[in-house]
Amino acid sequence: NVSKKINADPTNAELYYTRSNAFYFEDNFKQATLDIEFAIHLDSANALYHYKRGNYLMAGDTANAAEAEKSYKMALQLKPDFFDATVDMAKLLLAKQMYPASEALYTKANTLDPGNPLPYFYLGIIAKETGDTLKAKKKIKKTSETNIPSLTL
């Protein structure tokens, strides 16, 4: 039991992170956020913890978008090549209709993992939303040209 391990070693940030994931998968986003925030308190230089905080906040309530954005920014400041944080920050900016900033992050994500179709798909969405149908078609087509077996669009 992770809670017992935390009681025995209350300054171990990894244990709080582990328990936060368990809470997250139980849809207990409030407790997941509390645990990940304590992990950050113990190890503020861990990009993964900041990224997870952003995810937990967004899963709990999209009204937490501003705080989630801060968490994603911190994760990217600590680890600029963090693909998942780059994609989730881009997705948050896309939802806020901040198309140029979102596009820049999805383009960065393409350089971080060129074989991943996800950034191409969202670049197509951005092109469609900004009225560039031809560019949208090209980006969406690119998603089908990438080869990621675990992702089907």
Q: List, for residues 49-97, the tens digit of each pLDDT value.
A: 999 999 999 999 888 999 999 999 999 999 999 999 999 999 999 999 9
Q: Which is nearest to 52 in space by CA: 98, 80, 20? A: 20
Give residues with Cβ within 8 angstroms of 100, minimum separation 6.
none
The single-letter code of the amino acid at 86 is T
How much is the pTM? 0.90
